[in-house]
């Protein structure tokens, strides 16, 4: 027996809101995407991490070190206390997670 599977996706509008959270406790996903792109992705995408990214100078760009450096940039850009973790997928099998531990 052969089984066929098809994955489908869709786009729809909706609003997620909780009366239990204040404006300061809620972050819009489009704002999150903008911050991540401005602070990290736009600065490292298609770059040689050893030579082209000034804030990585002197850092050996392992997944672990990149997660820490990305955390440092994002923590300053997100509203205080809202950044929980940075998870960097180096490959589908290798993932570095950092939660701001000292």
Taking each helix axis from N to C end, the angle separating 63-77 and 29-36, rounded to the nearest 10 degrees, works out to 120
pTM for this structure? 0.79
| Integer Cα distance of 70 and 44 in angstroms | 10
Task: Let me know if 23 is a catalytic residue.
Answer: no
- Residue-range domain boundaries for the chain: 27-98
In the predicted structure, residue 24 carries a pLDDT above the cut 80: no
| Integer Cα distance of 11 and 53 in angstroms | 35
* Distances in whole angstroms, Cα of residue 26 to Cα of each of 31, 72, 98: 11, 21, 22
Task: Let me know if 48 is a catalytic residue.
Answer: no
Mean pLDDT: which of 4-13, 14-23, 90-99 is highest?
90-99
The fold adopted by the segment(s) 27-98 is Tetrahydropterin Synthase; Chain A (3.30.479)
Split at pLDDT 50, 70, 90, the class of 89 is very high
Q: 26-78 pLDDT, tens per residue?
A: 888 889 999 999 999 999 999 999 999 999 999 999 999 999 999 999 999 99
Catalytic residue among 25, 38, 85, 90: 90
Q: 75 versus 13: which is more confidently predicted?
A: 75
| Integer Cα distance of 51 and 64 in angstroms | 18
**Rg for the chain (alpha carbons), in Å?**
18
Catalytic residue among 20, 23, 46, 92: 46
């Amino acid at each position: 027996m052969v089984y066929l599977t098809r994955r489908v996706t869709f786009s729809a509008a909706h609003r997620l809101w909780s009366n239990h959270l204040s404006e300061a406790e809620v972050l819009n996903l489009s704002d999150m995407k903008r911050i991540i792109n401005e602070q990290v992705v736009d600065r490292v995408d298609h770059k040689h991490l050893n030579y082209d990214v000034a804030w990585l100078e002197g850092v050996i760009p392992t997944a672990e070190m990149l997660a820490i450096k990305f955390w440092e940039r994002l923590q300053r850009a997100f509203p205080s206390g809202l950044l929980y973790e940075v998870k960097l997928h180096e490959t589908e099998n290798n993932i570095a997670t950092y939660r701001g531990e000292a």
